[in-house]
C-alpha cells in the first residue's frame, strides 16, 4: 500500500497541527503511525488497554510467540531522566548526550523509581517494567517529538513491520493489514537510517556501567566516548597554565576516585587542556613540568593542542584562565557558553612564562586552591 493509497482521512499533515492531532488520537486510545529517524512506528497510549491489545496483535502477527515489554517513548531527554532520576551519573551523561537519537536505554530502576513508574503506568506497569528494567527512547524526529508531548500520557511505539517482515522505512512500505488498524499516519518521508536503534543497558547506582544489548545505528565506540566526563582547561598557548591545571586536576581526581591517574579513563573521566592560540604538538614549559612534578603530578607526556570546536563540543565543563579566554571560546563556539567559566571568579590567572620558576610555583599553588571546590562537586 502506498501513502497515496491510504484513506485521505488517515493522512495527517507533517506539521505541528498534524502532530497535535496525532497526539490527541493516541491519548484517546487510538493507534497512529509516525516517523522516527530509524523506522516508522505505531504509537499507542499506554493507559488504554484496548490500544495495548491492538498493538500486541500487530506485534504477534509480525513476530509470533515473542513476548516483549513496551518501550516508553518521550519527547525530550529531560523527560527520559524524569522517569529514572536514580540513574547513575554515567547513565545520566549517556541519556543527555545521546538523546534525541537512535538509542534506546534499558535502565535498572531504583526501588523508588520503580514505585513511581508503576504508579504512573497504572495497569500497564507489568507490561512495561521487566525484571526491574524500564526501556526509554526519544526519537530524533521533530513531528514525533511534538506528538509525544501533545499526547500527555505515557506512549509506547512499536516498529511498523513491512509485508516482508522488515522495517518500514517509508510510509509506502506500510502493509495494508496495519493501515486498517490505525486512526492516522504522518508521512515524514524516507527515514534517515535503515537500521534499528541501539539498545543500551544501564545499571542504576554507583559509578555506573553500561553494555550494548542490541547493535544498531550508534556503535559502542561512540557510546564509550559519550560516556566520558571531560574536564577541559584553557589558556593561550597550552604550554603553561592549562597543562598545569590539567595535570594537577588529574592527580586530584585520581585520589578522589581511589585510582591511579592513568586509570581515570577506565572510570570514564577525561582531563584535557588546550589553548585559544596554541600550535599543535608543543611540549609543556620546563618550569611547568618541574613544578607539577614536585606536587605529585605529571606533565612529561604533554603536547599542546588548539581549542577547536570539536574539542570544545566534547567537553562537559570548561575552565579558562582569563575572562578573555572565555570570551574567545564563546565566539569560536557559542554552544560552549553554558559550560564555560573562568577558573577564578575573582580575577585572571596570570601567565608565568618568562617570569621564572617562582611564578610557576605561585600559579600552581593558586590552581590547587581553585580546583578543590569545583572538582569535589563534579558528578562523576
Residue 32 is placed in which grid cell? Answer: 497512529
Is the predicted pLDDT of residue 208 greater than 90, yes or no?
A: no
Does 256 reside within a domain? yes
The rounded mean pLDDT for the chain is 93
Is-contact 29 54, C-beta < 8 A? no
pLDDT of residue 60: 83
Q: Let me know whether 134 and 184 are in one domain.
A: yes
Chain-centre distance for alpha carbon 299: 31
The answer to whether residue 350 sits within a structural domain is yes
* Mean pLDDT (whole number) for 140-168: 89
Task: Please state, in angstroms and as integers, the Cα–Cα distance from residue 16 to each residue in 21, 29, 79, 169, 182, following that order.
Answer: 8, 20, 20, 22, 20
What is the predicted pLDDT for the residue at 204?
63
Sheet-wide strand order for 198-202: 11-12, 184-186, 32-35, 40-45, 155-159, 72-73, 133-137, 103-108, 198-202, 210-214
What pLDDT is stored for residue 205 in this prediction? 59
Domain end (from 225, 244, 264): 225
Note whether 157 and 264 are same-domain residues: no
Show contacts of 368-372: CB within 8 Å, 24+ apart.
Answer: 368/248, 368/252, 368/295, 370/343, 370/344, 371/245, 371/248, 371/249, 371/252, 371/343, 372/252
Same domain, 247 and 315: yes
Predicted local distance difference test score (pLDDT) of residue 129: 97
Q: List, for residues 116-149, the tens digit of each pLDDT value.
A: 999 999 999 999 999 999 999 999 999 999 999 9
Q: Residue 103's domain is classified under what CATH number?
A: 3.90.870.10
Which residue from 294, 264, 259, 257 is spatially nearest to 368, judged by alpha carbons? 294
- Please tell me the predicted confidence (pLDDT) of residue 32: 97
At 65, the pLDDT band (50, 70, 90 cuts) reads low
Together in a domain, 215 and 250: no
Residues 191 and 263 in one domain: no
10 Å CB burial of residue 130 (0-12, 13-18, 19+) is: middle
Confidence of residue 41 (pLDDT cuts 50, 70, 90): very high
In a domain, 8, yes or no: yes
| Residue at 89 is within a domain | yes
pLDDT (average), residues 344-373: 95
The string of DSSP codes covering 48-97 is -HHHHHHHHHHHHHHSTT---PPPEE-SSHHHHHHH-TT--HHHHHHHHH
Range of the domain at 246: 228-374
Whether the predicted pLDDT of 1 surpasses 60: no
Measured in whole angstroms, the distance separating CA 233 from the mean position of its chain's CA atoms is 22
| Residue 115 confidence (pLDDT) above 70 | yes
CATH value at residue 243:
3.40.50.2300
CA distances 183 to 12, 33, 154, 172, 342, Å, are 10, 8, 18, 16, 55
For the CA atoms of the chain, what is the radius of gyration? 25
Examine the fold and report which residue of 225, 249, 277 is the final residue of a domain before the chain moves on. 225
Q: Which positions are annotated as active-site residues?
A: 235, 241, 351
Residues 233 and 355 in one domain: yes
pTM for the predicted model, two decimal places? 0.85
Task: Report yes or no on 281 lying in a domain.
Answer: yes
- How many residues are given for the chain? 380
Residue 13: pLDDT band with limits 50, 70, 90? very high
| 8 Å CB contact between 202 and 210 | yes
Q: Is residue 266 a part of any domain in this protein?
A: yes
Of residues 172 and 231, which shows the higher confidence score? 231
Specify whether 235 is located in the same domain as 212. Answer: no
* Confidence at residue 215, expressed as pLDDT on a 0 to 100 scale: 93
Q: State the pLDDT confidence band at 4, using cuts at 50, 70 and 90.
A: very low
The per-residue pLDDT for range 89-108, each reduced to its tens digit, is 899 999 999 999 999 999 99
Q: Are residues 114 and 248 in the same domain?
A: no
Q: What average pLDDT does this structure show over 16-45?
A: 97
Angle at 138 between CA 201 and CA 113, to 5 degrees: 55
pLDDT of residue 206: 55
C-alpha cell at 366: 593558586
Chain segment 224-282, per-residue pLDDT in tens: 999 999 999 999 999 999 999 999 999 999 999 999 999 999 889 999 999 999 999 99
Let me know if residue 380 belongs to a domain: no
Q: Which of 165, 192, 225 is the last residue of a domain?
A: 225
Q: What is the pLDDT of residue 2?
A: 47
Rounded Cα–Cα distance for residues 189 and 273 (Å): 43
Asked whether the predicted pLDDT for residue 27 surpasses 50, the reply is yes
**Same domain, yes or no: 84 and 173:** yes
Tens digit of pLDDT for each residue in 67-85? 689 999 999 999 999 999 9
* Residue 330 CA, distance from chain mean position: 22
Q: How many domains in the chain?
A: 2
In a domain, 138, yes or no: yes
Residue 5 has pLDDT above 90, yes or no: no
Sheet with 269-275, edge to edge strand ranges: 269-275, 229-235, 317-320, 340-342
Question: Would you call 24 exposed, middle or buried from its count of C-beta atoms within 10 A (0-12, 13-18, 19+)?
Answer: middle
Q: Are residue 154 and residue 259 in the same domain, yes or no?
A: no
CA–CA distances in Å: residue 225 to residues 91, 254, 265, 299: 13, 19, 10, 23
Amino acid at each position: 500500500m502506498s501513502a497515496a493509497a491510504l484513506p485521505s482521512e488517515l493522512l495527517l499533515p507533517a506539521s505541528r497541527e498534524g502532530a497535535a492531532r496525532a497526539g490527541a488520537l493516541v491519548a484517546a486510545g487510538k493507534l497512529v503511525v509516525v516517523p522516527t529517524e530509524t523506522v516508522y512506528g505505531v504509537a499507542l497510549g499506554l493507559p488504554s488497554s484496548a490500544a495495548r491489545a491492538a498493538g500486541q496483535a500487530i506485534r504477534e502477527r509480525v513476530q509470533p510467540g515473542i513476548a516483549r515489554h513496551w518501550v516508553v517513548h518521550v519527547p525530550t531527554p529531560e523527560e527520559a531522566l524524569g522517569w529514572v532520576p536514580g540513574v547513575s551519573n554515567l547513565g545520566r551523561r549517556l541519556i543527555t548526550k545521546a538523546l534525541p537519537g537512535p538509542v534506546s536505554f534499558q535502565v535498572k530502576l531504583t526501588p523508588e523509581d520503580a514505585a513511581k513508574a508503576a504508579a504512573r503506568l497504572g495497569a500497564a506497569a507489568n507490561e512495561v517494567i521487566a525484571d526491574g528494567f524500564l526501556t526509554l527512547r526519544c526519537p530524533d524526529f521533530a513531528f514525533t517529538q511534538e506528538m509525544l508531548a501533545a499526547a500527555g500520557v505515557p506512549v509506547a511505539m512499536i516498529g511498523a513491520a513491512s509485508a516482508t517482515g522488515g522495517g518500514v522505512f517509508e510510509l509506502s512500505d506500510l502493509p495494508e493489514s496495519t493501515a486498517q488498524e490505525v486512526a492516522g499516519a504522518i508521512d515524514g518521508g524516507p527515514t534517515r537510517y535503515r537500521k534499528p536503534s541501539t539498545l543500551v543497558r544501564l545499571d542504576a547506582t554507583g559509578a555506573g556501567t553500561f553494555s550494548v544489548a542490541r547493535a544498531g545505528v550508534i556503535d559502542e565506540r561512540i557510546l564509550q566516548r559519550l560516556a566520558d566526563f571531560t574536564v577541559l582547561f584553557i589558556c593561550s598557548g597550552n604550554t603553561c597554565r592549562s597543562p598545569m591545571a590539567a595535570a594537577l586536576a588529574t592527580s586530584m581526581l585520581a585520589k578522589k576516585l581511589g585510582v591511579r591517574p592513568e586509570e581515570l579513563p577506565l572510570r570514564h573521566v577525561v582531563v584535557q587542556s588546550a589553548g585559544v592560540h596554541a600550535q599543535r604538538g608543543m611540549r609543556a614549559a620546563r618550569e611547568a613540568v618541574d613544578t607539577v612534578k614536585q606536587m605529585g603530578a605529571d606533565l612529561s607526556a604533554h603536547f599542546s593542542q588548539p581549542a577547536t570546536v570539536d574539542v570544545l563540543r566534547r567537553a562537559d565543563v570548561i575552565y579558562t584562565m582569563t575572562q578573555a579566554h572565555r570570551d574567545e571560546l564563546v565566539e569560536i563556539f557559542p554552544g560552549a557558553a553554558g559550560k564555560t567559566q573562568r577558573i577564578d571568579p575573582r580575577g585572571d590567572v596570570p601567565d608565568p612564562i618568562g617570569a621564572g620558576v617562582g611564578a610557576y610555583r605561585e600559579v600552581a599553588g593558586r590552581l590547587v586552591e581553585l580546583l578543590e571546590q569545583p572538582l569535589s562537586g563534579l558528578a562523576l
